[in-house]
Amino acid sequence: MSADLLALYDVDERFSATYPDSRREELPALVRHVDLVGTSSAVIYSRLTPESMDTAIAEQVAYFASLGHDFEWKAYAHDQPPDLAAHLAAHGFAAEETEAILVLDLQTTHPAPEAPSRVRRITRREELGDLVTVKERVYTKDVKRLVDRLTFELEHVPDAISLYVAYQNGAPAACGWIRFPTSSAFASLWGGSTVPEARGRGLYTDLLSVRVQEAIGRGFRYLTIDASSMSRPIVERRGFRVLTFATPWMWFTRAPQGG
């Protein structure tokens, strides 16, 4: 992938990105997003110096602690300084699995001839039950926060998100969604999950094809995904190429919930 494409990604998907469920706050050397629906905020862009790094990290910890928010600092492989991750760890952040950031050039991609019949789009809050069923089967935990966030998006920006569920023998077996920002060259894939007994049967690929087709139809130039080690081989077979890597570093506050 070219340096120009990486720079475009940094501008569109990190520095300038806005989300309906958060408040973007631009500081001199970083951009943070304050959660307006729950208490899970984020720092998604930073350009620090060795001299300013520890102060900036401590300031964000103090800020989100004052709100009672947990937050994710998403550190990319090309972020500066190169030892940012070590300093996040020293401040008490915990690393999650590193993700590959992959991009598909939609101008060189042909849409599928027709949408798979076993994939259905979810358009109303009342229809979210099938998606919840998949997520609870995959993660075996309460997904209320996720449902609250998706409900908020469906009600406030319905044209900016499309949610899909794939079915096997009439039962919900896989899900995924796609977001369409208003000022970015990149649409983005999220939430791809398949229940254990339905894996390897093409459901994830069907969901991928439907979302690629919609992104092409909406006129986006690129499609991006933060891929786990499980989903990366599938999307690479579809033509996605690695742009960079990112590691979510999590900080959990013990302050009372509020703000």
What pLDDT shows up at residue 185? 97
pTM: 0.90
Kindly tell me the burial class for residue 155, based on how many C-beta atoms sit within 10 Å of its own C-beta (0-12, 13-18, 19 or more): exposed
Q: What is the pLDDT of residues 160-190, one digit of tens each?
A: 999 999 999 999 999 999 999 998 999 999 9
Query: Residue 188 CB: number of other CB atoms within 10 A?
Result: 21
Cα distance between residue 56 and residue 218, in whole Å:
39
The domain defined by 110-238 folds into Aminopeptidase (3.40.630)
Cα distance between residue 247 and residue 85, in whole Å:
9
- For CATH 3.40.630.30, the residue range(s) in the chain are 110-238
Which residues make Cβ contacts (< 8 Å) with residue 209, sequence separation at least 6? Answer: 112, 115, 116, 238
Q: What is the pLDDT of residues 84-118, one digit of tens each?
A: 999 999 999 999 999 999 999 999 887 666 767 89
Mean pLDDT taken over the chain: 92
What pLDDT shows up at residue 259? 35
What pLDDT shows up at residue 256? 36
Classify 3-99+246-251 by CATH class.
Answer: alpha beta
Cα distance between residue 49 and residue 142, in whole Å:
39
Cα distance between residue 105 and residue 148, in whole Å:
32
What pLDDT shows up at residue 112? 67
- The secondary structure of the chain as a DSSP string is --HHHHHHHIIIIIIS---TTEEEEE-SSEEEEEESSSSEEEEEEE---TTTHHHHHHHHHHHHHHHT-EEEEEEETT-SSTTHHHHHHHTT-EE---EEEEEEEGGG-PPPSS--TTEEEE-SGGGTHHHHHHHHHHH-S--HHHHHHHHHHHHH-GGGEEEEEEEETTEEEEEEEEE--TT-SEEEEEEEEE-GGGTTSSHHHHHHHHHHHHHHHTT-SEEEEEE-TTTHHHHHHTT-EEEEEEEEEEE---SPS--
What pLDDT shows up at residue 258? 39
Instruction: Give the rounded distance of the alpha carbon of 40 from its chain centre.
Output: 13
Low-confidence ranges of the chain (pLDDT < 50): 255-259
